[in-house]
């Protein structure tokens, strides 16, 4: 998969050389290109922002550098990537959205700063490529860079071959299938007793059916505690008699 990222702070993306994503780049599973938006400015100060029409606080990113940047990275006569624009006013980013994006061949991330990018940029881009305006949650970051790091990690680990064989995404919180709308329960490793706290005995039993049942119960309980609103989204068809008791 190819990823292009446009930002006024390319140095924000140094972590993409590290760990899973860094390895995926070195093995050729991910082809990441980070671009400095200011390379598409033409004035001495390399200006990327201006005051908002209609007044109000803060600055808005100018359309001209963004237009040139998108034309250069996604030429209008070439195959179109999906443009992903992180913004608190976007649609909520979910595991399902990460999985859809992991199936794309080419993603182009546009990192806004200040009060955002002049709205004509997304409107014009949408005439020639699919666009997703995406929010990480109900809070406001100083810019899209950290949001892109989060999304690239969530998307990257779903690309076949990026996670090792030993790791599996099917038991994750929110994973499609049995874990959809559920939070993953507690996990344990050796030693069996630590500071007088024993690992739940069932996990040492070797009874795989009972362990799966216990894990599902724990996931249901944790979801009820931390995210009760998710329980309403569980598919009633997929609930069994035991689920209803938990």
Ordered DSSP codes for 166-213: T--STTSTT-SSTTTT--------S-SEETTEEPPGGGGS--HHHHHH
Active site residue 213: no
Which residue among the candidates 82, 157, 213, 222 is catalytic per the annotation?
A: 157
Core vs surface per residue 150-183: b (16+ CB within 10 A) or e: bbbebbbbbbeebeeeeeebebbbbbeeebbbbb
81 binds ligand ADE (CB under 6 A): no
88 binds ligand ADE (CB under 6 A): yes
- 115 catalytic, yes or no? yes
Task: Please give the helix or strand (H or E) that residue 147 lies within, else none.
Answer: helix 145-156
Site string for ligand ADE, 126-145 (x = CB under 6 A): ---------xxx-xxx--x-
Q: Is 138 annotated as a binding residue?
A: yes
Q: Which residue is nearest to ligand ADE (CB)?
A: 86
3-state secondary structure at position 118? coil
Which of residues 53 and 139 has its CB atom nearest to ligand ADE in the complex?
Answer: 139
Using CA atoms, how far residue 176 sits from 22, 61, 170, in Å, is 26, 37, 7
> Known catalytic residue: 124?
no
112 is in an annotated binding site: yes
39-74 core/surface letters (b: 16 or more CB in 10 A; e: else): ebbeeeeeebbeeeeeeeeeebbbbebbbebbeebb
Check whether 137 is labelled as a binding-site residue: yes
Q: Is 139 annotated as a binding residue?
A: yes
Q: Does 87 bind ligand ADE (CB under 6 A)?
A: yes
Catalytic residue among 52, 88, 153, 227: 88
Count of positions on this chain that bind ligand ADE (CB under 6 A)? 11
Establish whether 157 is a catalytic residue. Answer: yes
Which residue, 87 or 218, has its beta carbon nearer to ligand ADE? 87
> Which one of the listed residues 104, 115, 180, 217 is annotated catalytic?
115
Residues that bind ligand ADE (CB under 6 A): 86-88, 135-137, 139-141, 144, 147
Catalytic positions, written as ranges: 88, 115, 157, 172
- State the binding site for S-adenosyl-L-methionine: 112, 136-141
């Amino acid at each position: 998969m190819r990823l292009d990222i446009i930002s006024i702070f390319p140095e924000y993306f140094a972590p993409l050389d590290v760990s899973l994503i860094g390895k995926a780049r070195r093995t050729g599973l991910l082809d990441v290109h980070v671009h400095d938006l200011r390379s598409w400015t033409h004035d001495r100060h390399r200006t990327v922002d201006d005051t908002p029409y209609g007044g109000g606080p803060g600055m808005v990113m100018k359309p001209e550098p963004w237009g040139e940047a998108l034309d250069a990275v996604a030429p209008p006569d070439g195959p179109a990537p999906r443009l992903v624009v992180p913004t608190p006013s976007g649609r909520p980013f979910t595991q399902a959205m990460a999985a859809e994006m992991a199936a794309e061949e080419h993603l182009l991330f546009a990192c806004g700063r200040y009060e955002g990018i002049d709205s004509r940029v997304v409107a014009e881009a949408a005439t020639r490529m699919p666009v997703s305006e995406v929010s990480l949650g109900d809070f406001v970051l100083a810019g899209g860079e950290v949001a892109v790091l989060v999304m690239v990690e969530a998307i990257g680990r779903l690309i076949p071959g990026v996670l090792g064989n030993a790791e599996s995404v099917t038991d994750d919180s929110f994973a499609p299938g049995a874990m959809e709308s559920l939070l993953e329960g507690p996990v344990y490793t050796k030693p069996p007793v630590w500071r007088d706290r024993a690992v739940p005995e069932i996990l040492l039993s070797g009874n795989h059916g009972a362990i799966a049942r216990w894990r599902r119960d724990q996931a249901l309980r944790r979801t009820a505690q931390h995210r009760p609103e998710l329980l309403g989204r569980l598919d009633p068809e997929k609930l069994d008699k035991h689920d209803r008791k938990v």
